[in-house]
Amino acid sequence: MATLELASITKDFGAHKVLSGIDLAIRDREFVVFVGPSGCGKSTLLRIIAGLEAATSGRILIDGQDVSDAAPVDRGISMVFQSYALYPHLSIFENIAFPLRVARLPEAEVKAKVARAADILQLTDKLALKPGQLSGGQRQRVAIGRSIVRNPKVFLFDEPLSNLDAALRGEMRVELSALQRDLDATMVYVTHDQIEAMTMAHRIVVLNKGRIEQFGSPMELYHHPATRFVATFIGQPNMNLIPATVAGTGAEGLTVDFHDGTRMTLPVDPAGAHPGDRVEVGVRPENLRLGQGLAMRLRVLERLGGTTIAYGMLADGLKLCAALPGDTTVHEGEDVGLTFTPADAHVFDAQGRVMRRRQAPALAA
Amino acid sequence: MMDRYTLWQRIGIYAGIGVFLTFILLPFFEMFMTSLKPLNHIFRSPYQFWSDDFSFDAYTRMWERVPNLGRYIWNSIFIATSVTILAMIVIVPAAYAYARLDFPFKTQSLGLFLSVNMFAGAVLLIPLYKLMRQLGLLNTYWAMIIPGVAFLIPTGIWLLRGYFEKIPKEMEEAAYMDGASRLYTLRRVILPLAGPGLVVVATTVFITAYAQQYLFAVTFNSDGKLHPLPVGLLQFIGYQNVEWNMMMAAALTGITPVLLVFLFLQRYLVAGLTAGAVKE
């Protein structure tokens, strides 16, 4: 239905820079998730797109039209708030009908549109109730209903699932993905939960300290994180970072020495690395397996059934985490060896920039 | 919630409440007892709590003694109601502005408003008198209504602002996203949600207006027909003696309609005072 473009958006609160130089092009019918730690500016960016806050500089274009100075309703945008922001004194019907009442639509049209929204969201038998009589998930659906009756071009979601319990959150993730497909809508979704980002997004914007760290598909972010920040933010459990020293560069990639003396050659572009440089080798827990290699003392085992998460420490005190097969016969307190395939390694330079991987898996999406 | 207090704590709490209520209610009780006694029994020494000749005589004779009594009671209610309505018309938008809008000198101007409350009405009586005379408002209802409104606006703004601030900002933002104007949002979202707060503020304004009439009435009004009850009660003070029993009967009769209204509003008051205490 619409494309959304942000051109060098900045936002200052006094001397404090919240956003600096955000450029972003979101495609028609795309589900884009803004993710980042709290205080990274993701909510502020969403509020700027919504028109609730003015950018200090920069432009917002919807379908190629500059809407930077337009009121939210004229931008063709609707928003679902974290707290749902339902009106407790109005019935579910009137809550969903609110934007239509504001627009003074004829009663028959209001009824038809609310009925359709209620049908999509399975709220038809709840229309006479008040928000206080609904469960968290139902309230969430009412908030979505209020946002879809207006047929906006772009939907914005501000951490809509963070008030729900874990089971319901999983359910709503699936529902939201289905809804996005059914409505054929462009959606921008803000969350601090990387699982929500990975599961729902077509593309993810990772924000950190008011800057875009990376913009790409979930698997792109997983296999080709551009920075150390993205690498540790995406993926569960978090990626392990093992300090190492560059021993040399060659046609096969980068040769590094770990602190325990292990030497490995990793198939990455060594771009500008010199022997003696300090780097960090990133290995995802799921890429670690038992075998000859790093010696780790197991401290805690989390048996999840399908996998066993092993937390431990190297001899130099570095904490590591490995996702091992569920039935692995290891015990807490035991010393084990961990190894990984060199092609699975990510290497970050001292500035946190990644060295491009040569043998990463082809991207699923 | 149950058994939060031990038996002794509970006895202590009830004893405390008892003492408190006695202090507050004893004057009313004494008023009532006095209104039932014949005049010559009131100052009997030693004090006699119970009298054998209680009668409601004063409640019928007071209307003859002060023929305009009904009119005074009506005036009191009329003035207090007018003050409440006029004050609320000013307080609601002002409180909303102080709660939500950003404008220059916001905190300073609110502080200035509140500092008005530091002056007792009596301090300003003479300038107010001159003002009223110049505007030609002496000896009209306006002379008693306008100062009442003026003195109550700051407190009202202060109280109501708190209620408005407790309404989540996101509700207004949601309405704004849907194209609603500030006034539409105020009317359809904010005011219904602030209902209990409005009742609390209106009640406070009304009670204060009812209580503060005396000063403005004796100063700005000499028209006997316009006097409120507190001034009317003075007529029970004669040259030779004071008709205490009738005066008490008249005072009780005067506050009864107001008392009934507030008994009815009580549940809103309790809801209003605790509104926002529990996160929904």
DSSP state letters, B19-84: HHHHHHHHHHHHHHHHHHS-HHHHT-SS--S--TT--SHHHHHHHHHSTTHHHHHHHHHHHHHHHH
Residue B21 lies in a domain: yes
CA–CA dist A266, A277 (Å, integer): 15
Residues B78, B198, single domain; the answer is yes
Fold of A237-355: OB fold (Dihydrolipoamide Acetyltransferase, E2P) (2.40.50)
Q: Total domain count for chain B?
A: 2
| A312 CA: distance to closest CA in chain B (Å) | 41
Residue B130 lies in a domain: yes
Among candidates A51, A79, A102 on the partner chain, residue whose Cβ is nearest the Cβ of B180: A102
CA–CA dist B120, A279 (Å, integer): 75
Residues B182, B211, single domain; the answer is yes
Residue B63 lies in a domain: no
| B261 CA: distance to closest CA in chain A (Å) | 25
Q: In degrees rounded to 5, what are phi and psi of residue A11?
A: -145, 125
Strands (E), B148-266: none
| Residue boundaries of the structural domains of chain A | 4-232, 237-355
Query: Residue A231: is its pLDDT beyond 80?
Result: yes
Count of CB atoms situated within 10 Å of the CB of A223: 19
pLDDT of residue B59: 85
Query: Residue A162: is its pLDDT beyond 90?
Result: no
Range of the structural domain that residue B8 is part of: 1-55
Residues B88, B46, single domain; the answer is no
pLDDT of residue A219: 92
| Residue B174 touches partner A, C-beta closer than 8 Å | yes
Q: Does B177 contact A51 at a Cβ distance shorter than 8 Å? A: yes
Q: DSSP labels for B104-157?
A: TTHHHHHHHHHHHTTS-GGGGHHHHHHHHHHHT-TTSHHHHHHHHHHHHHHHHH
pLDDT by residue, tens only, chain B of 280 residues: 556 788 899 999 999 999 999 999 998 888 888 888 887 777 777 777 777 778 888 888 888 877 888 888 888 889 999 999 999 999 999 999 999 888 898 889 888 888 877 776 677 888 888 988 899 888 888 888 888 888 889 889 988 988 888 888 888 999 999 888 888 999 898 888 888 888 888 988 888 888 888 888 888 888 878 888 888 888 888 777 888 888 888 888 888 888 888 888 877 766 655 554 444 4
Residues B134, B9, single domain; the answer is no
Query: In A, which residues are within 8 Å of B176 by CB distance?
Result: 52, 72
User: What number is the average pLDDT over the span A285-307?
Assistant: 91
Residues B92, B18, single domain; the answer is no
pLDDT of residue A362: 63
| Residue B173 touches partner A, C-beta closer than 8 Å | yes
User: What number is the average pLDDT over the span A229-258?
Assistant: 90
For an interface test with A, which of B178, B278, B279 has the most A Cβ atoms less than 10 Å from its Cβ? B178
Query: In B, which residues are within 8 Å of A150 by CB distance?
Result: 178
- How confident is the model over B193-236, as pLDDT tens digits? 888 888 888 988 888 888 888 888 888 888 878 888 888 888 88
- How confident is the model over A115-152, as pLDDT tens digits? 989 988 888 898 998 888 888 888 888 999 999 898 88
pLDDT of residue B277: 43
Q: Report the candidate in A158, A51, A74 with the shortest Cα–Cα distance to residue A59.
A: A51
Residues B128, B160, single domain; the answer is yes
Query: In A, which residues are within 8 Å of B171 by CB distance?
Result: 85, 87
User: What number is the average pLDDT over the span A159-182?
Assistant: 86
Among candidates B173, B180, B184 on the partner chain, residue whose Cβ is nearest the Cβ of A52: B173
Pairing of strands A263-266, A77-80: unpaired
Collapsing DSSP to helix, strand or coil, A245 comes out as strand
Residue contacts between A and B (CB atoms, under 8 Å): 54
Helices and strands: H and E segment counts in chain A: 9, 20
* Residue-averaged pLDDT of chain A: 89
pLDDT of residue B280: 41
Radius of gyration over every alpha carbon of chain A, rounded to an integer in angstroms: 24
Residue A312's pLDDT band, with cuts at 50, 70 and 90, is: very high
Residue B40 lies in a domain: yes
Residues B81, B138, single domain; the answer is yes
Query: In B, which residues are within 8 Å of A88 by CB distance?
Result: 193, 280
CA–CA dist A251, A266 (Å, integer): 11
Residue A229's pLDDT band, with cuts at 50, 70 and 90, is: very high
Fold of A4-232: Rossmann fold (3.40.50)
CA–CA dist A154, A273 (Å, integer): 44
Residue B20 lies in a domain: yes
Query: In B, which residues are within 8 Å of A73 by CB distance?
Result: 177-179
Q: What is the CATH number of the domain that holds B161?
A: 1.10.3720.10
Percent of chain A with pLDDT over 90: 45
pLDDT of residue B278: 43
Query: In B, which residues are within 8 Å of A77 by CB distance?
Result: 177
Residues B82, B17, single domain; the answer is no
Q: Report the candidate in A183, A179, A186, A180 with the shortest Cα–Cα distance to residue A5.
A: A186
| Residue B179 touches partner A, C-beta closer than 8 Å | yes
pLDDT of residue A98: 93
Residue A201's pLDDT band, with cuts at 50, 70 and 90, is: very high
pLDDT of residue A302: 92
Q: Does B179 contact A77 at a Cβ distance shorter than 8 Å? A: no
Query: Residue A61: is its pLDDT beyond 80?
Result: yes
Residues B102, B224, single domain; the answer is yes
Q: Does A81 contact B173 at a Cβ distance shorter than 8 Å? A: yes
Q: What residue has token string 């109501």? A: B160
